[in-house]
Every structure is written in C-alpha cells, then in structure tokens.
Structure 1
Amino acid sequence: MNTPNIPTTSTPSVDAIRARTAELPLVTPASDALAGRTLVMSGGSRGIGLEIALAAARHGANIVMLAKTAEPDPRIPGTIYSAAEAIEKAGGRALPVVGDVRKDEDVARVVAEAVKEFGGVDIVVNNASAINLHPTKDLPLKRLDLMLDINIRGSFALTQAALPHLLESDHAHILTLSPPLNFDAWIGNFPAYAVGKYGMTVLALGWASEFAGKISSNALWPETTIATAAVQNTAGLGGDESVKHSRGPQIMADAALAVLATAPGAVTGHTLVDADVVRSTGVADLSGYGGEEPLTLDLFL
C-alpha cells in the first residue's frame, strides 16, 4: 500500500511569535487614551480582569462587567459590586451586571445594558475562564463541560452579542486572555484545559481575519504565573509557593492597555505575551511587578 504524500505545516515557535512583538507600534498609553470608550468584560470581579478594568478606567473608559459573584465568598476576595466601587474610585464609570457568560440571556442583557447606559460598545475583553488540571482519567465530564462552556462558548457568545456595536465603533478591539499556540509544550499535557484555552486563541485569531480593517483582535497571556486567588487555589499550580514566585496582575493590565490604546488595525491578529508588550513600550526593568526569583514560567510557555 502506497502512503500518500501529505503536505506538512509547522507552527512558528513561541520564541519567534514573541520576537515579533518588538516590531509592533506599542507605546505607553496617554492618560486619556480610552476616554469615553466603553469596555465590556466577562468576569472582572477580581484578579487579572479587575486590574485590566481598573487600568482602563484610569485611562477614561466606561467599564461594564458580567460576573456571577454578587455575594462575598470567604475563599476568594471581592464581588462584582466591590469591583465596581474600585473602578469608580479609579476615576471610571462602572456598570456591574450580575450574570453568567454561559447563559445567552445574560450575555444579551450585559450588552444591551452597556448600550443603554453608554451608547455603544468599543472594546470586548474575554476574561472569564475556568481551569482544571486533572488528567484525562480523573477529569469529571461536568468539569470539561464547564471549561468548554466558559472558555470557548462564553468568549464566542459575548463577542457575537457585542459585534453589531463593535462594527459601528471607530475604536473596536477584542482582547482575549489566552495563550500562544505552543503545541510543543502542550500536546499531552492537560489536554482538556489546553483545548479550552487554545480554542479561545483560535477565535481571537479568526476574528482578526474575519473582521480585518474593522475590528482589532488579539490574544494576551502572561509570561509567568500571576499572583491571584486562581493560582493560589488551583490544584497543580503550586499554591502559596507559586504565588511567591509570580508577578502581580498589574503587568497584564499594563500590557492590555498598551494594546487597547492602539489605533484600529495597528495591532491585530497577534498572540501576545505581557512581558514582551510591556518591554515594547520602553519598560526594560520588570522587577516592579513583583515576584521572587526564580519566577515561575506560565504553563503554556
């Protein structure tokens, strides 16, 4: 039996992908870079999402958040209401919407309320995500469903709902918090979680092509683990010891703002790493973002 000649392709290495960031027109955003812009985010009541929301608010943005945490939880800090209060104190305008990104009616409602309150949507940040690092033999299917529903379907649903308004904006951005497609590191490692996060990246890159010239779409991911409750509480991420060797979430916020402040079409279709983005804005010393050496490299890198 003859074996057909099947053409093969290879994905660029993560190092090659990261090197491209230095060529992008990224600078430290002006203080009013997002003045009057409306940002809709999934999640955001704590951690990286909240830091991005606060940074956008300081640069003039209106922040609309869809999150489930309406009541305090002793295991994790913050609620959607405490997040909104912090955003207001940072100088922004906040609209907290209690809901679940897995529910179509809640997704439609957060976009409708953003438009009613602020007149449109300029930016979508797909921040909500579920993580479970159990191996295939031990992962309950309901946990797989949760990751796929929040990570992939939730990102698609929120972007789809906001799409008519993004297409009317003169500063339309989609930012999805998902990693570079680093198959060398991840084939065989936590496949269920990997397919959920890589699915988000495929969507981000697909939207950049589908809406080229109309909407900028990028993925953003941390170089190191980030000191959040998720890192502390997720089995397999190292707990307190990992947090000690993690940068603070401010680095993701600074990187996100540098991307979201760019002119439409200037930066789109990229899988970006926070440290590379921040360095590209002229910050050589990242020690101010915290973390004891040796820093813990993120799982996907």
Structure 2
Amino acid sequence: MPSTQKVALVVGASRGIGRQVAIDLAKNNYAVVVSAKSTSNAQTTKPFPPDPNSQQSTINTVEREIREAGGQATAIAVDTRDFEDVKKLVDQTVKIYGHIDVIIYNSGAIWWASVENTPMKRFQLMQRINPEGLYGTIQAALPHFKNNGWKGRVIVVSPPIYSRFFRGKTAYAMGKVGMSVLTKGIAMDWEREGKKDMAMTSIWPASSIESAATGQMTNIDPDAVKDLRKPSIFSDAILAMIRAPVADVNGLLDTDEDFLRNHEGVSDFSKYSVVPGATTRRIMPQEFPDLTVAEQADEGRRTDSAKMRAAKL
C-alpha cells in the first residue's frame, strides 16, 4: 500500500556509510528502501546486528535493524551496472511506497593506483558502478519525480573538484569527478527549467570515515584509527542537506564537516572521532576552487541534440 511517509532510496546501503545513512533516515521517519548487491538471510545472522563494516552486513540485515527499531524499510537487491535492474529498483520502490522523495547514491567501486597499475577491467568496473550507475539511477527516477510534481532531493557521494584529487588515482577520479559534473549539470538544468523544489548535491568526507575500506588501512597501520570519524557525521550532514533550502544545496559540492559547520553551526566535531579525544586529520583542502567563469550566464546558441533528432524524424 502506498505510504504517506517520506520515502528515501539509499543505493549502496549494505554496510558502512550507506548503512548508517539508511538507519538515520529511518530514525527521522523516512520509509527507506535499502539497496545494494549483497544479500543474506538476516534471520539466521549471528551475532545480530553484525559488524557494520563486515561482509555479514547486507541490505537484509540493515532492513532488519531498521524494522526491529520500529522503522519502515524494504531491502531490494540491485546491480547498478545493469540499467534494467536499476529501473526495476526505482519502479519497485514507487510501487511499494507510492513515490520517492530522496535518493542517496552511495554505491561505489574503489581502486587507488596509477594508470599503469589499473587494469582495464578494473577501470571499466569503476566507471560502470560510479558515474554510469548514478546516471542510470537518475534516468530511472526522473519520470517519478515528474509525477510527484518535481519535488525531490538527490545526494551523491562524490567530491568537490580540485586537481590534487587526481594524484595517484586517476582512473578512480575520472569516475568520481564525472559524478560531480553530473551534480553540477543537472542542478543548472533544474534551475533553468524552474524546478524550484528539486536539488542535487554532492557530499564527500573531510576526514577519513570508519568503513570496510579504512579497516584495511588500519590493519596495516593501527595508529591510523586515530584519524577516523564515525559514519554518523556523514548521515548528519546528509540529513541537514535534505532539510536545507533548495537554493543553498542545488549544485553544491561540499564536505560533511564544512556543511555542518557553515550551515548547521557545528564547531565541535569531537563526538564523531572513533578514538575519544583524538583530533582527526583533515584529508580535504581547506578551500576549493571556484568553477564558475565570468561568462557563466552566457548560454550562447544552445544546441539540443534530442530536439535536432526529433526534427529529422
């Protein structure tokens, strides 16, 4: 039966940051569709709840966590490399709950190495899951946002654009920066088209966050745990972005820390440190370049390939 609750679709929600975001959205009265590729029988998982950064944490265990806490959640498996599968995910979400208000795209593949040491198959995997998966999710969701009167928020895990980010991980950066370009481009389209209740925003961690990936890092260097923050800083920032006025967040590429500081007035981030009392190392620049140009408002003679093709038919 369609829900009157606000509905959030979290893609990449089986563990770590995605799990935390899904749980905190449910605590804030969202019905949450928990989606990723990994599944399991949550009823036989022991101990429960499992380590949120382990392979035992799946969309099914996250759904069970939310439901046992009194929230509303549905686990739906998806392979973000398959556009038909993505469309089924979005359509099923709307079939169950009647609409979508928020999409969080946290799905991602990581490989940090030089181009020389990044095999073609690894490069292709990252492009398909990162920018292509996001693009497909947006394509699948747009008709439903239209049916909902063009009201909705999309939040993407991708970085502010700056040159240092490319160093040592060019193949990965190509996809992640592409996701940020999509955020900027859609935001400009929506603004030009007068969609005043739609916003697309990118968020990135200012300091490393506890996850399966950083767990591997701390296995090599145990002292690195002192630089980690809890994933709750990310979900707190995302919830604040959802609450913020469209004009403040549409097209914004920001970090969790900076958004909480500048928009929520947070000055003490100590509660987010994994190690109590530790001062985490900021991995992002203090300031990011302004991507706008003096001619920003000059669209020239716009070319619309879709209209040109339609005119030929």
* TM-score normalised by length of structure 1: 0.81
Secondary structure in 2 matching 1:121: coil
Instruction: Measure, in 2, the Cα distance between the counterparts of 1:55 and 1:103.
Output: 28
- TM-fit CA distance, 1:265: 4.2
1:173 paired to 2:153: yes
1:295 paired to 2:295: no
Instruction: Measure, in 2, the Cα distance between the counterparts of 1:244 and 1:282.
Output: 24
Taking structure 1 as reference, are residues 209 and 110 closer, same or farther at Cα in structure 2, changes over 3 Å only? Answer: same
Amino acid in structure 2 at the alignment position of 1:127: N
Aligned residue pair count: 265
- The one of 230, 242, 248 equivalent to 2:230 is 248
For the 8 Å contact 1:42–1:127, the answer to whether it is kept is: yes
For the 8 Å contact 1:177–1:219, the answer to whether it is kept is: yes
- The one of 222, 230, 240 equivalent to 2:205 is 222
Amino acid in structure 2 at the alignment position of 1:44: A
1:110 paired to 2:81: no
For the 8 Å contact 1:232–1:239, the answer to whether it is kept is: no
For the 8 Å contact 2:205–2:255, the answer to whether it is kept is: yes
Secondary structure in 2 matching 1:283: coil
Give the RMSD, CA atoms, in angstroms.
Answer: 2.4
Amino acid in structure 1 at the alignment position of 2:242: L
Instruction: Measure, in 2, the Cα distance between the counterparts of 1:124 and 1:150.
Output: 16
Match in the other structure for 2:99: 120
Identity of aligned residues (%): 32
Write the deviation string for residues 111-149 of structure 1: whole angstroms up to 9, x where unpaired.
111111100111111110111012221111111111111
Structure 1, unaligned runs of 5 or more: 1-34
Residues 174-253 of structure 1 aligned to structure 2 (within 5 Å) = 174-183=154-163, 185-212=164-191, 213-214=194-195, 215-233=198-216, 240-253=222-235
Larger radius of gyration: 2
- TM-fit CA distance, 1:77: 3.9
- TM-fit CA distance, 1:238: 5.9
Secondary structure in 1 matching 2:116: helix
For the 8 Å contact 1:232–1:242, the answer to whether it is kept is: no
1:55 paired to 2:38: no
Match in the other structure for 2:9: 40
Amino acid in structure 1 at the alignment position of 2:182: L
- TM-fit CA distance, 1:225: 0.4
- The one of 128, 138, 141 equivalent to 2:117 is 138
* TM-score normalised by length of structure 2: 0.78
Residues 18-97 of structure 1 aligned to structure 2 (within 5 Å) = 36-71=5-40, 76-97=55-76
Structure 2, unaligned runs of 5 or more: 287-313
Taking structure 1 as reference, are residues 85 and 150 closer, same or farther at Cα in structure 2, changes over 3 Å only? Answer: same
Match in the other structure for 1:261: 243
- TM-fit CA distance, 1:54: 1.2
Higher relative contact order (Cα pairs below 8 Å, separated by 6+ residues): 1
Secondary structure in 2 matching 1:95: strand
Taking structure 1 as reference, are residues 188 and 272 closer, same or farther at Cα in structure 2, changes over 3 Å only? Answer: closer
Amino acid in structure 2 at the alignment position of 1:180: P
Q: Which moved more, 1:218-227 or 1:260-269?
A: 260-269
Q: Which moved more, 1:247-256 or 1:186-195?
A: 186-195
Instruction: Measure, in 2, the Cα distance between the counterparts of 1:176 and 1:109.
Output: 20
Instruction: Measure, in 2, the Cα distance between the counterparts of 1:198 and 1:79.
Output: 27
Taking structure 1 as reference, are residues 195 and 106 closer, same or farther at Cα in structure 2, changes over 3 Å only? Answer: same
Instruction: Measure, in 1, the Cα distance between the counterparts of 2:121 and 2:69.
Output: 38
- The one of 253, 256, 260 equivalent to 1:274 is 256
Q: Which moved more, 1:144-153 or 1:185-194?
A: 185-194
